[in-house]
């Protein structure tokens, strides 16, 4: 009897461990939100071979049963008994965009000035650092001096000179939070000018690739990741910006340990204005090209395997073969949802793989826009990360874009 009880306890313990392991695993990997296109009663969304949705038959599938509730949520249960998690069902219409693939020039002007370095000032009494004394840090964004908004580097410098050493109040943004610091300039020994010992930046320029145009609101998106300051490696706070044509005049090829880049000349003509710089790309408004629209895939429709990217590394927009090698169920990085591999011999011959400037290149699979290139693997430039197309499309119609759209119409 004792042996029977002991065996039963062991079996119960093993079963409990299996059940808790399954609950933990499914809770992590089952998505918090599942998108269904055009009220499709069946969505082929599975994990480890277990279908998560089957509204048409509403039957148990292996270990999982799902019941749709009135508030568009489903309760996922293990063995039809133990609740695992609640998943939101997003019923959406099929979205269409006009495909990009063209290189474009980016001119950005910051909202305030970004502190990129802090230096000493040589005074009569020795070297001192007003910035360090005030607690200013590299990466801070100075937005105001004594409640006056900073317009540019030269405007900031003028306000500092006019202070003649009196105490100023800086309004700064640090790690997304607003702070105020007291600051005093110091008179430099040789020039007799009042100096702050701060190196600041108010603009930047570069190039990338347009991912798509959204004909619904004449917006466009590119890069798939933010434009970062080269010195602080932080997202540049965008006040306004311009998109312009670019002519590619050379390519530094990528190889192991060395990321290449597209070299180009930015044109003077402006075809669009930029209004958002964020983790999922740069966004703005322009006249949507009169070209054929392409459907946007949702995550559950994307599969590992053959695909293509569209880019213009030699001023001609072309399709090149790639493979989607991995799709992450969940990612800690907002713009690293997939891994792609360049397999096109022509593109590899031209660029060595993925180079700077190709960020934003749209990815096509089964006739649908599925994502955009975002990053390159430094030690294997034939591979890189990509962001989901639906994420970028969602940002192109977000509330902030709607606000800018209204401002554009009013002007």
Which residues participate in catalysis according to the annotation?
225, 344, 359
Determine how many CB atoms are found less than 10 A away from the CB of residue 117.
13
**Max Cα–Cα distance, the chain, nearest Å:** 97
What 3 state SS string does the chain have?
CHHHHHHHHHHHHHHHHHHHHHHHHHHHHCCCEEEEECCCCCCCCEECCEECCCCCCCCCECCEEEEECCCCEEEEEECCCEEEEEEEEEEECCCEEEECCCEEEEEEEEEEEEEEEECCEEECCEEECHHHHHCCCCCCEEEEECCEECCCHHHHHHHHHHHCCCCEEEEEEECCEEEEEEECCEECCCCCCEECCEEEEEEEEEEEEEEEEECCCCEEEECCCCCECCCCCCECCEEEEEEEEEEEEEEECCECCECCEEEEEECCCCCEEEEEEECCEEEEEECCCCCCEEEECCHHHCCCEEEEEEECCCCCCEEEEEEEEEECCCCCCCCCCEEEEECCHHHHHHHCCCCECCCCCEEEECCEEEEEEEEEECCEEEEEEEEEHHHHHHHHCCHHHHHHHHHHHHC
Closest by CA position to 220, among listed 410, 24, 5, 401: 401
CB 155 within 8 A of CB 162: no
Half-sphere exposure of 227 (CA within 13 A, CB side): 28
- The structure tokens 């039963």 sit at 8
């Amino acid at each position: 009897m004792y042996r029977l009880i002991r065996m039963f306890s062991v079996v119960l313990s093993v079963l409990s461990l299996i059940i808790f392991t399954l609950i933990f695993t499914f809770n992590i990997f089952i998505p918090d939100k599942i998108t269904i296109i055009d009220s499709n009663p069946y969505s082929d969304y599975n994990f480890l071979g277990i279908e998560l949705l089957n509204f048409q038959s509403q039957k148990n599938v292996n270990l999982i049963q799902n019941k749709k509730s009135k508030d568009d949520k489903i309760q996922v249960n293990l063995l039809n008994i133990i609740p695992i998690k609640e998943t939101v069902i997003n019923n959406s219409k099929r979205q269409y965009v006009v495909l990009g693939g063209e290189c474009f020039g980016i001119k950005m002007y910051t909202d305030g000035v970004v502190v990129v370095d802090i230096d000493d000032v040589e005074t009569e009494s020795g070297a001192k650092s007003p910035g360090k004394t005030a607690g200013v840090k590299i990466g801070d964004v100075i937005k105001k001096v004594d409640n006056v908004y900073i317009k540019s580097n030269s405007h900031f410098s003028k306000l500092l000179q006019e202070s003649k050493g009196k105490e100023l109040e800086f309004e700064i943004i640090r790690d997304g939070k607003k702070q105020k610091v007291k600051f005093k300039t110091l008179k430099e020994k040789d020039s007799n000018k009042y100096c702050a010992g701060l190196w600041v930046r108010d603009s930047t320029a570069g190039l990338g690739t347009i991912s798509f145009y959204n004909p619904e609101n004449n917006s466009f998106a590119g890069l798939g990741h933010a434009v970062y300051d080269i010195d602080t490696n932080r997202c540049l706070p965008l006040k306004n910006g311009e998109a312009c044509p670019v002519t590619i005049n050379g390519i530094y090829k990528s190889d192991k340990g060395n990321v290449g880049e597209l070299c180009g000349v930015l044109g003077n003509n402006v075809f669009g204005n930029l209004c958002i710089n964020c983790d999922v790309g740069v966004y703005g408004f322009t006249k949507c090209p009169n070209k054929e629209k392409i459907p946007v895939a949702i995550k559950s429709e994307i599969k590992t395997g053959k695909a293509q990217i569209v880019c213009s590394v030699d001023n001609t927009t072309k399709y090149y073969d790639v493979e989607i090698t991995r799709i992450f169920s969940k990612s800690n990085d907002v713009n690293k949802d997939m891994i792609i591999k360049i397999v096109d011999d022509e593109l590899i011959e031209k660029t060595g793989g993925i180079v700077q400037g190709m960020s934003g290149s749209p990815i096509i699979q089964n006739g649908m826009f599925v994502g955009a290139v975002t990053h390159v693997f430094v030690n294997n430039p034939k591979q890189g990360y990509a962001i989901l197309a639906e994420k970028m499309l969602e940002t192109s119609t977000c509330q902030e874009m709607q606000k800018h759209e209204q401002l554009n119409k009013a002007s």
